[in-house]
Structure 1
Amino acid sequence: MRAGTAGKASMKAAERVSGEGEKRGRKASKETRRQQLIEATIDSLAKRGYSETTLADVADGAGLSRGIVNFHFESKENLLVATLQYMAEEYADHWGGALERVGPSAASRLWALVQADFDRRICTKRKLAAWCAFWGEAKSRPTYQALCGARDVKYQETVIQLCAELKAEGGYSYAPEPMAISLCALLEGLWLRLMMGDGTTREKALEAAIEFVVNIFPRHLTRQGPAAP
């Protein structure tokens, strides 16, 4: 009897483990499909633009049925909001991680921010084109502004703080906030140049950004990186 009871208990335990594994598998599959659809949306935005992107295009691009798209997002607007949220979070995590990996000096942190904007993982033609598609719609869609607004503010505040620290250390004559806005505008403008395909490459864009910061912060930065203390 004890052996039989032990056998039943073992079978129940195995069933529980199997059930939990199936649940994890279903969850992973759901997350994987959502990510496939988001990536396909980015591809479609880059290829067709905002207004021409349809749920059918996204489904075909992801290699999934149109019913799957409806199941996960219900509407084109929900899918686009999820895609923008994913891209905004990816970008924020990217530059935030770049800051975490460097030392505490303002020069190192500013250098890391500039480098991060032209990293191959974040600065691709398809992602830049998708960003441009969303930017074109942001003015008339408060939801899009809200998704990116707080992160944009945090980024700009970070740059302002770094400019203030560098001014205090180097005795520069600029005002920190206008200088930070100028730097942010330069980086955004270089992204637009890359998206327009006017011959500007990612390497050239990074070189231009470096040239700007080297001339603004000559006591802290060189073309090779932060100056030695």
Structure 2
Amino acid sequence: MSESVIADRGPDGDRKGRKASREVRRQQLVDATIDSLARRGYAETTLADVADGAGLSRGIVNFHFESKEKLLVATLQFMAEEYAAHWRGALDKAGDDPASQLWALCAADFDRAICNKRKLAAWCAFWGEAKSRPTYQALCGGRDQAYHDVMVDVCTRLKAEGRYPIDPQASALAINALLEGLWLRLMLAADEVSRDTAFASAAELLAALFPRHFVRGTGGTITKA
């Protein structure tokens, strides 16, 4: 039996092995697409670039995705699902306290696994195309709304706890907008802004909105009370 056939076999037979192999190949191609978007941008990324980056034949790219557009949609879907799983995981670990939840949500946005030059550049490439591509808007719209709804709920509970004179909807929108803007700053001015300084900027807004829950320490650093 050839080495390639052995590699495709799984413990439950050929079918499971081939399925695993297909998933591995698809993920290789998605990862290579992210790399290409980061290096070349949206317009200059080609199926040939992706195949070369993944170390696979161009025929394999066509077999799995058929077109550049289908490959890009799959890549955006992967990134959106990865981001959603990341912030939901951070939220779950924070427990039921709204201040801990808000702190965890903001901190999660600057975790290296999600916030790095490679992925930020890929996100920017997709953002530049989203206005003219309804598929991209539809793919991320539901997940963006879920994130916003969670942020509104957290702000609403913090308002009740601290009796703050704030509008939870507007506050949630302001926090989301700041986080998105900080991602853009990290992409465009990486030498001036780091993940740590970006998170510190987000913490400043939290302290301004909810001063009894987020306070400035003796060293000037904002912390959760």
Q: Normalising by the residue count of structure 2, what TM-score does the alignment of the two structures yield? A: 0.90
Distance 2:123 2:145 in 1: 17
Structure-2 change in CA distance of 1:103 and 1:18 (3 Å): closer
Structure 2 residue 56 is matched with structure 1 residue 64: yes
2:47 corresponding residue in structure 1: 55
Conservation of the 8 A alpha-carbon contact between 2:200 and 2:222: no
1:121-200 equivalences in 2 (<5 Å)? 121-198=113-190, 199-200=192-193
1:23 corresponding residue in structure 2: 15
Report the residue type matching 2:56 in the other structure: L
Distance 1:129 1:21 in 2: 40
Structure 2 residue 68 is matched with structure 1 residue 76: yes
Cα shift at 1:65: 0.4
Cα shift at 1:18: 7.5
Aligned residues: 211
Structure-2 change in CA distance of 1:172 and 1:18 (3 Å): closer
Cα shift at 1:20: 2.9
Cα shift at 1:21: 3.1
Gaps of 5+ in 2: 1-8, 216-220
Gaps of 5+ in 1: 1-16
Secondary structure in 2 matching 1:20: coil
CA RMSD of aligned residues (A): 1.5
Secondary structure in 1 matching 2:13: helix
Distance 1:136 1:224 in 2: 34
Cα shift at 1:218: 1.2
1:120 corresponding residue in structure 2: 112
Distance 2:207 2:54 in 1: 43
Structure 1, 216-225 or 33-42: larger mean CA deviation: 216-225
1:210 corresponding residue in structure 2: 203
Cα shift at 1:22: 2.8
Q: Normalising by the residue count of structure 1, what TM-score does the alignment of the two structures yield? A: 0.89
Cα shift at 1:19: 7.9
Report the residue type matching 2:76 in the other structure: L
- Following TM superposition, the consecutive aligned residue runs of length 4 or more in structure 1 with deviations greater than 6 angstroms are none
Report the residue type matching 2:73 in the other structure: V
Flag the structure with higher helix content: 1
Greater CA radius of gyration, 1 or 2? 1
Distance 2:224 2:210 in 1: 10
1:91 corresponding residue in structure 2: 83
Instruction: Give the share of equivalent positions with the same residue, in percent.
Output: 65
Distance 1:149 1:99 in 2: 20
Distance 1:188 1:168 in 2: 26
Cα shift at 1:202: 1.1
Secondary structure in 2 matching 1:172: coil
Distance 1:97 1:69 in 2: 32
What do the CA deviations read for 1:129-188 (whole angstroms, capped 9, x no partner)?
100000000000000000000000011111111111111110111111111101100000
